[in-house]
Amino acid sequence: MAIRVEQCYKEHPKSIDRFGKYISIEVPYLVFESASEDEALAAVWSEVPAICEDLPLESIEIDSRESENTFRVNVRYKDKEYTSTDDEENDDEPTVSFDCGGGTKHLLYSLNQRKAFGTKEAGGAIGWNGKSGSDCEIAGVDIPTAQLRETYTKTMRISRLSTSYKRNVAALVGKVNSGSFKGWSAGEVMFLGMSYSTPAKKAKKVTVTFNFAIQPNESGVKVGGKSVSKKGFEYVWAISKTVMANGVPKIDIEAIYVDQVCEYASFSALGL
């Protein structure tokens, strides 16, 4: 079937200056039977007028994908001659706040174990029940650790916070940086989400908050006397075995594993 473009008959975001003259208008369209975003953009480009309310066409962007072959597209008209400190084209530079609080991590093996009484060796295991084989259990202990968090606050234009942008942001929640980000190395930053609040129809700009958890990469981490390197949000675990040393049972490390448990992604889509 041929591509079909229809204007959405709903409210159009409009802005006027103090003289009542239009300075920007956004008109939404639906594109049916389009195989791709590029095809939908091209279809709207060929259909929409170059002028609306005496304003020239400024941009056309995908707002959302409604179904497999249907796209919502926003067309923006803007007075190129208009300038105002209240409606700057560029977003403000972000500000950042940092918090280093107390958290805990679970430790199964001691960094340096000293036997104070008795003859049985624990092999560095903390809270070992003294049994071997399938009955072996290691309780471990929770110890204090730093819990790092960064928050970026940025003033952004409402027009930038489209449904398409929000979808991109949502897709990054829980992901870890694949490359360097704000001075942190790859693997050290997890995106926790974004938030803002403003009147939906009147505001032109809004303060948006982006939250990140920080977990520094580590090298030379000791697990049962063995050195292991890991990225910040990777998970390290080990399999223990019971061995005999001079006739005394001892817990020893049989294998150590480093697991990637979070997906990696670029945070460039956040616009920070």
Express each pLDDT in 72-85 by its tens digit: 888 988 887 654 44
Sorting pLDDT into bands at 50, 70 and 90, what band is 200? low
- The answer to whether the CB of 122 falls within 8 A of the CB of 128 is yes
DSSP string, 205-256: EEEEEEEEEE---EEEEEETTEEEEE-TT-EEEEEEEEEEETTEEEEEEEEE
Q: Which two tokens stand for residue 18?
A: 């103090």
Closest C-alpha to 245, from 119, 126, 133: 119
Q: What is the pLDDT of residue 86?
A: 43
- The answer to whether the CB of 221 falls within 8 A of the CB of 206 is no
Q: What gap in Å lies between CA 246 and CA 250, rounded to an integer? A: 10
Beta bridge pairs of residue 240: 253
pLDDT score of 52 more than 80: yes
Tell whether pTM > 0.75: no
Q: Which two tokens stand for residue 142?
A: 């929770």
Please give the biggest Cα pair distance in the chain.
Answer: 94
Give the residue, 199 or 236, on which the prediction is more confident: 236
- For the four alpha carbons of 84, 87, 89 and 91, in that order, the dihedral sign comes to positive
Q: What gap in Å lies between CA 251 and CA 224, rounded to an integer? A: 9
Express each pLDDT in 149-191 by its tens digit: 999 999 888 878 888 889 989 999 999 998 889 989 999 999 9
Q: What is the pLDDT of residue 201?
A: 60
Q: What is the pLDDT of residue 217?
A: 92
Residues in the chain: 272
pLDDT score of 264 more than 90: yes
- ∠153-212-94 over CA atoms, to 5°? 20
The domain ranges of the chain are 4-78, 89-272
